[in-house]
Amino acid sequence: MPKATVTLASGAVVNIEGATAEVKDLLAYYGGATSDKQEKQKAAPAPRSAGKPTEKPQTDDLSISEIVKHVKDCDEADDIESRILDTTSQVNRILLPLFVVQKYMGGSHGLTTGEISAVTKDLGIPIHVANVSNALKGSAARYVIGDKVRRKGQPVRYSLSRRGLKYIENVIKGKSDGE
Protein backbone atom coordinates (compact mmCIF):
# COMPACT_ATOMS: atom_id res chain seq x y z
CA MET A 1 0.00 0.00 0.00
CA PRO A 2 1.51 3.39 -1.01
CA LYS A 3 2.47 5.81 1.72
CA ALA A 4 3.38 9.49 1.57
CA THR A 5 4.28 12.14 4.07
CA VAL A 6 3.12 15.65 3.20
CA THR A 7 4.17 18.95 4.74
CA LEU A 8 1.38 21.51 4.45
CA ALA A 9 1.95 25.25 4.03
CA SER A 10 1.06 25.71 7.71
CA GLY A 11 3.93 23.40 8.66
CA ALA A 12 1.71 20.47 9.64
CA VAL A 13 3.06 17.07 8.64
CA VAL A 14 0.47 14.60 7.33
CA ASN A 15 1.08 10.88 6.74
CA ILE A 16 -1.05 9.42 3.95
CA GLU A 17 -1.64 5.72 3.40
CA GLY A 18 -3.99 4.38 0.76
CA ALA A 19 -4.43 3.36 -2.84
CA THR A 20 -2.08 4.98 -5.36
CA ALA A 21 -4.90 7.00 -6.94
CA GLU A 22 -6.04 8.29 -3.53
CA VAL A 23 -2.53 9.35 -2.56
CA LYS A 24 -2.05 11.12 -5.92
CA ASP A 25 -5.43 12.86 -5.58
CA LEU A 26 -4.60 14.14 -2.09
CA LEU A 27 -1.17 15.35 -3.20
CA ALA A 28 -2.78 17.11 -6.16
CA TYR A 29 -5.44 18.65 -3.91
CA TYR A 30 -2.78 20.12 -1.62
CA GLY A 31 -0.83 21.55 -4.55
CA GLY A 32 1.36 23.75 -2.36
CA ALA A 33 2.31 20.80 -0.19
CA THR A 34 5.32 18.64 -0.87
CA SER A 35 5.96 15.04 -0.03
CA ASP A 36 9.09 13.88 1.79
CA LYS A 37 10.40 12.42 -1.45
CA GLN A 38 10.03 15.82 -3.17
CA GLU A 39 11.64 17.57 -0.17
CA LYS A 40 14.63 15.23 -0.33
CA GLN A 41 14.98 15.85 -4.05
CA LYS A 42 14.90 19.62 -3.45
CA ALA A 43 17.39 19.37 -0.60
CA ALA A 44 19.84 17.18 -2.53
CA PRO A 45 22.78 19.22 -3.75
CA ALA A 46 23.04 19.71 -7.47
CA PRO A 47 25.97 17.86 -9.01
CA ARG A 48 28.97 20.09 -9.56
CA SER A 49 30.38 20.34 -13.00
CA ALA A 50 34.13 20.64 -13.19
CA GLY A 51 35.45 24.09 -13.99
CA LYS A 52 32.20 25.98 -13.38
CA PRO A 53 32.04 28.11 -10.25
CA THR A 54 28.86 27.85 -8.21
CA GLU A 55 26.87 31.00 -7.51
CA LYS A 56 26.57 32.36 -4.00
CA PRO A 57 23.01 32.18 -2.71
CA GLN A 58 21.40 35.61 -2.29
CA THR A 59 18.59 36.58 0.02
CA ASP A 60 15.15 36.08 -1.52
CA ASP A 61 13.88 39.65 -1.63
CA LEU A 62 17.00 41.56 -0.75
CA SER A 63 20.41 41.57 -2.28
CA ILE A 64 23.67 42.67 -0.78
CA SER A 65 24.06 45.43 -3.35
CA GLU A 66 20.61 46.85 -2.52
CA ILE A 67 21.53 47.09 1.16
CA VAL A 68 24.84 48.78 0.31
CA LYS A 69 23.02 51.20 -2.01
CA HIS A 70 20.58 52.13 0.77
CA VAL A 71 23.45 52.75 3.20
CA LYS A 72 25.13 55.10 0.75
CA ASP A 73 22.00 56.88 -0.53
CA CYS A 74 19.69 57.14 2.49
CA ASP A 75 18.85 60.41 4.26
CA GLU A 76 21.20 59.53 7.13
CA ALA A 77 24.17 58.55 4.90
CA ASP A 78 26.49 61.29 6.19
CA ASP A 79 25.76 60.48 9.84
CA ILE A 80 26.16 56.75 9.17
CA GLU A 81 29.52 57.35 7.54
CA SER A 82 30.87 59.56 10.31
CA ARG A 83 29.38 57.74 13.32
CA ILE A 84 29.55 54.10 12.21
CA LEU A 85 31.74 53.50 9.17
CA ASP A 86 34.56 55.83 10.27
CA THR A 87 34.67 54.49 13.83
CA THR A 88 36.09 51.22 15.15
CA SER A 89 32.97 49.72 16.75
CA GLN A 90 32.45 46.29 15.21
CA VAL A 91 29.05 45.93 16.87
CA ASN A 92 27.74 49.10 15.23
CA ARG A 93 29.09 48.04 11.84
CA ILE A 94 27.46 44.62 12.20
CA LEU A 95 24.12 46.10 13.26
CA LEU A 96 24.11 48.60 10.35
CA PRO A 97 22.94 46.15 7.61
CA LEU A 98 20.20 44.88 9.94
CA PHE A 99 19.13 48.49 10.58
CA VAL A 100 18.94 49.26 6.86
CA VAL A 101 16.88 46.14 6.16
CA GLN A 102 14.50 46.96 8.99
CA LYS A 103 14.11 50.69 8.40
CA TYR A 104 14.39 51.09 4.64
CA MET A 105 13.50 47.68 3.23
CA GLY A 106 10.47 46.64 5.24
CA GLY A 107 12.23 44.43 7.78
CA SER A 108 10.52 41.32 6.49
CA HIS A 109 13.79 39.46 6.05
CA GLY A 110 16.64 38.69 8.38
CA LEU A 111 20.28 38.40 7.37
CA THR A 112 22.75 35.58 7.94
CA THR A 113 26.25 36.18 9.27
CA GLY A 114 27.62 35.61 5.77
CA GLU A 115 25.32 38.23 4.28
CA ILE A 116 26.24 40.74 6.99
CA SER A 117 29.92 40.07 6.31
CA ALA A 118 29.37 40.58 2.56
CA VAL A 119 27.64 43.93 3.17
CA THR A 120 30.47 45.16 5.40
CA LYS A 121 33.00 44.07 2.76
CA ASP A 122 31.13 45.98 0.04
CA LEU A 123 31.02 49.05 2.29
CA GLY A 124 34.81 48.94 2.59
CA ILE A 125 34.87 47.85 6.24
CA PRO A 126 35.30 44.07 5.94
CA ILE A 127 34.40 41.98 8.95
CA HIS A 128 35.06 38.26 8.69
CA VAL A 129 32.09 35.90 9.05
CA ALA A 130 33.55 34.35 12.22
CA ASN A 131 33.86 37.80 13.82
CA VAL A 132 30.27 38.63 12.85
CA SER A 133 29.12 35.37 14.40
CA ASN A 134 31.09 35.94 17.60
CA ALA A 135 29.74 39.48 17.96
CA LEU A 136 26.14 38.35 17.38
CA LYS A 137 26.41 35.72 20.08
CA GLY A 138 28.33 38.05 22.40
CA SER A 139 28.18 41.81 22.71
CA ALA A 140 25.49 42.36 20.03
CA ALA A 141 23.22 39.55 21.26
CA ARG A 142 21.00 41.92 23.22
CA TYR A 143 20.22 43.90 20.06
CA VAL A 144 19.26 41.09 17.67
CA ILE A 145 16.68 38.34 17.31
CA GLY A 146 17.43 35.09 15.50
CA ASP A 147 14.79 33.15 13.61
CA LYS A 148 15.91 29.87 15.25
CA VAL A 149 18.31 28.48 17.81
CA ARG A 150 21.97 28.56 16.77
CA ARG A 151 23.28 25.17 15.65
CA LYS A 152 26.49 24.36 13.87
CA GLY A 153 25.97 24.29 10.12
CA GLN A 154 22.47 25.75 10.27
CA PRO A 155 22.18 29.38 9.11
CA VAL A 156 20.28 31.72 11.40
CA ARG A 157 18.64 34.85 10.02
CA TYR A 158 19.03 37.80 12.35
CA SER A 159 16.96 40.95 12.60
CA LEU A 160 17.08 43.90 14.99
CA SER A 161 15.03 43.87 18.16
CA ARG A 162 13.25 47.03 19.31
CA ARG A 163 16.13 47.67 21.65
CA GLY A 164 18.61 47.23 18.79
CA LEU A 165 16.69 49.59 16.53
CA LYS A 166 16.63 52.25 19.25
CA TYR A 167 20.34 51.71 19.96
CA ILE A 168 21.50 52.07 16.35
CA GLU A 169 19.21 55.07 15.74
CA ASN A 170 20.78 56.78 18.77
CA VAL A 171 24.27 55.96 17.50
CA ILE A 172 23.43 57.52 14.11
CA LYS A 173 22.00 60.62 15.81
CA GLY A 174 25.16 60.87 17.95
CA LYS A 175 23.44 60.40 21.30
CA SER A 176 26.03 59.09 23.80
CA ASP A 177 27.01 55.95 21.84
CA GLY A 178 23.45 54.68 21.65
CA GLU A 179 22.54 54.40 25.31
Same domain, 74 and 30: no
70 within domain boundaries: yes
111, 136 contact by CB (below 8 A): no
Same domain, 75 and 157: yes
Report how far residue 17's alpha carbon sits from residue 33's, in angstroms, rounded to the nearest whole number. 16
How far CA 150 is from CA of 5, 126, 128, in Å, comes to: 27, 23, 18
Same domain, 68 and 112: yes
**Closest-CA residue to 84 (of 70, 101, 65, 97):** 97
56 within domain boundaries: no
Number of domains observed in the structure of the chain: 2
Same domain, 72 and 129: yes
Same domain, 78 and 29: no
Same domain, 71 and 36: no
136 within domain boundaries: yes
pLDDT at site 31: 59
Which H or E element spans position 160?
strand 158-160
Same domain, 113 and 157: yes
Same domain, 37 and 93: no
Same domain, 134 and 164: yes
Same domain, 86 and 137: yes
101 within domain boundaries: yes
Report how far residue 100's alpha carbon sits from residue 161's, in angstroms, rounded to the nearest whole number. 13
From first to last of the 179 residues of the chain, give the pLDDT tens digit: 777 777 776 677 777 777 777 777 776 776 544 445 444 444 444 444 444 444 444 444 358 888 899 899 888 899 999 999 999 999 999 999 999 999 888 877 889 999 999 999 999 999 999 999 999 999 999 999 988 888 888 889 999 999 999 999 999 998 865 55
Report how far residue 99's alpha carbon sits from residue 105's, in angstroms, rounded to the nearest whole number. 9
Same domain, 77 and 114: yes
pLDDT at site 4: 75
pLDDT at site 148: 85
* Sequence letter at residue 132: V
* Sequence letter at residue 79: D
pLDDT per residue as tens digits for the range 111-162: 999 999 999 999 999 999 999 999 999 999 999 998 888 888 888 999 999 9
Residue 125 CA neighbour count, 13 Å, CB half = 23
Is the whole-model pTM more than 0.85?
A: no
- Structural domain including 85 reads 64-178
Same domain, 82 and 112: yes
